[in-house]
């Protein structure tokens, strides 16, 4: 706790202390009280002289501390010194530093265990403080330049230095700040950057002193406007987006600037407030973007809608040698809309495998593959065609029976045939015997008698067998076909992928699993294909048979010369009415009543 030293009657009563009045009043070098602590006395409080002092940088001051007993007597006290600023030595000598501020010098008395202390009053340690008012060398902070004008995104460098009370310039460490960082920011080195149009103050602070500079930030003027793309083509009804970039004199893009758009020919192309150009009619127009009096342009050419793609259907197909399949091509615009009246040309990549007519009719020539391409106005679409051999439907062995003596041979021939019974050349045939103990057969079909007995010689060629080979069904009915791929030895090959297709979807359709559905009366060939080999089933679709005909009314009476209309309703076995069926009319007694082809009955007699 601080105490102010005052000359008093108590000081006059001190018998063993020498106090120098000049030191106490002048506060230059006060002399300490040198008398020891009297016996049986205790230090109840400390007094520091001087209790306040104003100092200049590097000035020294001698502080003295003495104690007071509870009785008010002044006694000598050994103290430790500390300070919150400047330099304080163990003898109480204090030197001020160069920085402005108010500091405290503290004296602390710590009694020894053997000496009488303030413990009697409940205190083990006594402290006192003195206030030092330090007036530093720095009088002001000067900032240069005092004003600055920059545009957004540009920078200006500020520097700061100190001025002493004597007017001398000195280097100082400063802290930089901006009064409005939204307008301009400043780095730790004093580099200011414009952020947005406006005004702010740049502040440099050191040792509780500050310097300021006024800063103004303006928008960078638009020097040019770049429009992208500089030229564009679009079709009638289509749109294209233009972008306008205002730039400064250095070509740097300027954000947040207002841009207006205009077209030179609204009959050809219009432009929205956002720069979206729409083709109106074939022709040309100049689109202009303007910002702050500066402009940029884009040259727009509008054309009719071109063919953007060609869709070929089917995209892939398998045909057997000698058969055909129809491929269609649809020119489309960029939106996928079909374009009618466009010329389409057809080409094949491999005429040895498949040819294509001017109308897109593909003919299988030889086993292999070909890409069929349809082209319209430079755009193309393709269909992948696979040509397979005619599948082997049966194998004829000749002779069908033969006798051979032991050790003799006889030659058998095998003829693979298609579903029409036409011989197929170049097919692989394997031979097998049912009893090699009686007869063996070579890979070429040469049979050798081994021992008396009988054997069945089998010739097998590759195929996909479809079962049933023929089927009939009515409209709306279904039938399940199965396909069995086989190798050259006739062994069933499991786990092979089989694809199904119909030759006439208007008559019968087939699912991926071989389920055939009758669509309309007629015939269709269902083909199952596996790894280039195919098998077929001939499908016949008939109308649902008429099971009964209901005539209404069932009975009628009429006078001679009068008429009455009869109606006939054909029905199937379940009683469902069958529409579109032909009905013929007849009378059992034309002398009594006649009937017309439409069922109109006339009374005769």
Q: Where are the domains of the chain?
A: 9-134, 138-218, 224-303, 309-388, 394-461, 464-542, 548-603
265, with CB counted inside 10 A (0-12, 13-18, 19+), is: middle
CATH 2.60.40.1080 is the classification of domain 224-303: yes
Q: What percent of the chain has pLDDT over 70?
A: 89
User: Fold match between 138-218 and 224-303?
Assistant: yes
Output the CA–CA distances (angstroms, integers) from residue 141 to 97, 164, 174, in the order listed.
Answer: 18, 9, 9
pLDDT digits over 526-567, tens only? 999 886 678 899 999 998 889 999 999 999 999 999 999 999
The correct CATH number of 138-218 out of 3.40.50.970, 3.30.470.20, 1.50.10.10, 2.60.40.10 is 2.60.40.10
The answer to whether 333 and 342 have CB atoms below 8 angstroms apart is: no
435, two tokens: 């009893």
Report phi then psi at 139, rounded to 5: -100, -35
Residues paired with residue 316 on neighbouring β-strands, in sequence order: 384
User: Could you tell me the pLDDT band of residue 112, with boundaries at 50, 70 and 90?
Assistant: low
**Band of pLDDT at residue 193, cut at 50, 70 and 90:** very high
pLDDT digits (tens, 9 = 90+) for 404-457: 999 999 999 999 888 788 888 877 788 999 999 999 999 999 999 999 999 999
Q: Check: CB of residue 206 under 8 Å from CB of residue 162.
A: yes
Torsion of CA 41, 43, 45, 48, to 10 degrees: 110
* Tens-place pLDDT, residues 250-270: 898 998 899 999 999 999 999
Q: Is the peptide bond before 179 cis (omega within 30 degrees of 0)?
A: no
User: What is the CATH number assigned to the segment(s) 394-461?
Assistant: 2.60.40
pLDDT score recorded for residue 334:
84
The whole-model pTM stands at: 0.34
| Tens digit of each residue's pLDDT (9 = 90 or more) over 461-514 | 777 889 998 999 999 999 999 999 876 556 777 777 899 999 999 999 999 999
Of 368 and 246, the one with more pLDDT:
246
Domain 309-388 sits in CATH at 2.60.40.1080
Judge whether residue 370 has pLDDT over 90.
yes
Question: In terms of pLDDT, which residue wins out, 517 or 17?
Answer: 517
pLDDT reading at 15 higher than 60: no
Q: Tell me, what's the pLDDT at 450?
A: 95
- Judge whether residue 29 has pLDDT over 80: no
d(CA 296, CA 597): 83
Residue the block writes with tokens 């740097």: 252
pLDDT mean across residues, the chain: 86
How large is the average pLDDT for residues 218-238?
A: 93
Residue 580 has pLDDT above 70, yes or no: yes
CATH class of 9-134: mainly beta
Stronger pLDDT, 13 or 536, i.e. the higher one: 536
Q: What's the CATH number for 464-542?
A: 2.60.40.1080
pLDDT tens sequence across 134-175: 666 677 888 999 999 998 888 999 999 888 777 777 788 899
């Amino acid at each position: 706790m601080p105490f102010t030293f005052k000359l008093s009657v108590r000081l006059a009563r001190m018998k063993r202390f020498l106090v120098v009045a000049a030191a106490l009043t002048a506060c230059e070098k006060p002399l300490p009280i040198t008398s020891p602590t009297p016996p049986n006395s205790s230090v109840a409080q400390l007094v520091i002289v001087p209790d306040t002092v104003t100092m200049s940088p590097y000035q020294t001051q001698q502080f003295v501390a003495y104690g007071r007993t509870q009785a008010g007597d002044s006694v000598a006290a050994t103290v430790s010194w500390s300070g919150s600023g400047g330099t304080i030595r163990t003898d109480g000598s204090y030197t001020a530093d160069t920085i402005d501020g108010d500091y405290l010098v503290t004296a602390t008395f710590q009694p020894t265990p053997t000496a009488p202390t303030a413990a009697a009053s409940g205190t083990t340690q006594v402290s006192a403080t003195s206030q030092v008012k330090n007036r530093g060398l720095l009088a002001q902070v000067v900032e240069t330049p005092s004003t600055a004008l920059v545009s957004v995104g540009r920078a200006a460098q500020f520097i700061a230095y100190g001025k002493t009370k004597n007017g001398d310039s000195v280097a100082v460490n400063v802290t930089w700040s901006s009064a409005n960082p939204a307008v301009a920011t400043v780095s730790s080195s004093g580099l200011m950057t414009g952020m947005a149009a406006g005004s702010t103050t740049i502040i440099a602070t050191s040792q509780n002193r500050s310097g300021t500079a006024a800063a103004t930030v303006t928008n960078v003027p638009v020097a040019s406007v770049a429009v992208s793309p500089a030229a564009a083509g679009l079709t009638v009804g289509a749109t294209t987006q233009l972008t306008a970039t205002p730039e400064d004199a250095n070509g740097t893009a300027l954000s947040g600037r207002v841009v207006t758009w205009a077209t030179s020919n609204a009959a050809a192309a219009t432009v929205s407030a956002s720069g979206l150009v729409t083709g109106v009619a074939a022709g040309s127009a100049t689109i202009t973007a303007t910002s702050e009096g500066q402009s940029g342009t884009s040259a727009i050419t509008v054309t009719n809608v071109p063919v953007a793609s060609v869709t070929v259907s089917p995209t892939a197909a398998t045909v057997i040698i000698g058969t055909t399949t129809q491929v269609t091509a649809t020119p489309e615009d960029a939106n996928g809309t079909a374009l009618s009246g466009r010329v389409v040309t057809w080409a094949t990549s491999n005429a040895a495998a498949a040819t294509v007519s001017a109308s897109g009719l593909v003919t299988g020539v030889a086993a292999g593959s070909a890409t069929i391409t349809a082209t319209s106005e430079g755009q193309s679409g393709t269909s992948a065609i696979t040509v397979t051999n005619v599948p082997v439907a049966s194998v004829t062995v000749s002779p069908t029976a033969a006798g051979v003596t032991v050790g003799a041979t006889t030659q058998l021939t095998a003829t693979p045939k298609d579903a029409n019974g036409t011989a197929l050349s170049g097919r692989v045939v394997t031979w097998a015997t049912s009893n090699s103990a009686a007869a063996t057969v070579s890979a070429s079909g040469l049979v050798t008698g081994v021992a008396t007995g009988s054997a069945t010689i089998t010739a097998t060629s590759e195929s996909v067998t479809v079962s049933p080979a023929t089927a009939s069904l009515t409209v709306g009915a279904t039938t399940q076909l199965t396909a069995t791929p086989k190798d050259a030895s006739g062994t069933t090959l499991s786990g092979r992928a089989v694809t199904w297709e119909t030759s006439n979807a208007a008559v019968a359709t087939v699912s991926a699993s071989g389920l055939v559905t009758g669509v309309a009366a007629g015939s269709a060939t269902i083909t199952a294909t596996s790894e280039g080999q195919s098998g077929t089933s001939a499908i016949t679709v008939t109308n649902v048979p008429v099971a009964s005909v209901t005539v209404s009314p069932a009975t009628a009476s009429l006078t001679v010369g009068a008429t009455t209309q009869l109606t006939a309703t054909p029905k199937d076995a379940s009683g469902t009415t069958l529409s579109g069926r032909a009905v013929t009319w007849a009378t059992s007694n034309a002398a009594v009543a006649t009937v017309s082809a439409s069922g109109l009955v006339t009374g005769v007699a």
